[in-house]
Amino acid sequence: MTDTGSTPEDRDLAGKAMAGIDQLVDSVHDKFIRPVLLIGRSVAFGFIIVFAVIVIAVALGVAVMRFLNVYLFSGHEWASWALLGLVSLVAGLVVWRKRRAVPTRSATP
């Protein structure tokens, strides 16, 4: 067998270099890539939740209107719409009452 010229010191040097590169890649991943992935995942799940809530709210609204038209105000569709309008008005007034004023910025720097 012939000696390929690699001494234990050369192999140790290569191992240290690879360990340094591995540590650099891990550091970059932990400081930059992971937060970007977490933000992207949060935005994606946020969109999914918002659209699911919108779909459920519309389906619930349609179901309530059908129930009112068929069982409660049969033949008087205007009453169902008036009740829905009254509920929407009350909900809007409650939300309007809960609002808070935005603090004003001072003009001087």
User: pLDDT tens for residues 57-74?
Assistant: 999 989 988 998 888 888
User: pLDDT tens for residues 22-50?
Assistant: 898 888 888 888 888 899 999 999 999 99
Give pTM, 2 decimals.
Answer: 0.57
Among positive and negative, which fits the CA dihedral 8, 14, 17, 18? negative
Whether residue 40 contacts residue 59, with contact meaning beta carbons closer than 8 Å, is answered with no
**Rg, Å, the chain Cα set:** 32
Domain boundaries defined on the chain? 10-98
Instruction: Give CA–CA dist 13/19, Å, rounded.
Output: 10
**Does residue 1 surpass a pLDDT of 60?**
no
The 10 Å Cβ neighbour count of residue 34 is 11
Q: Which two tokens stand for residue 94?
A: 């409650």
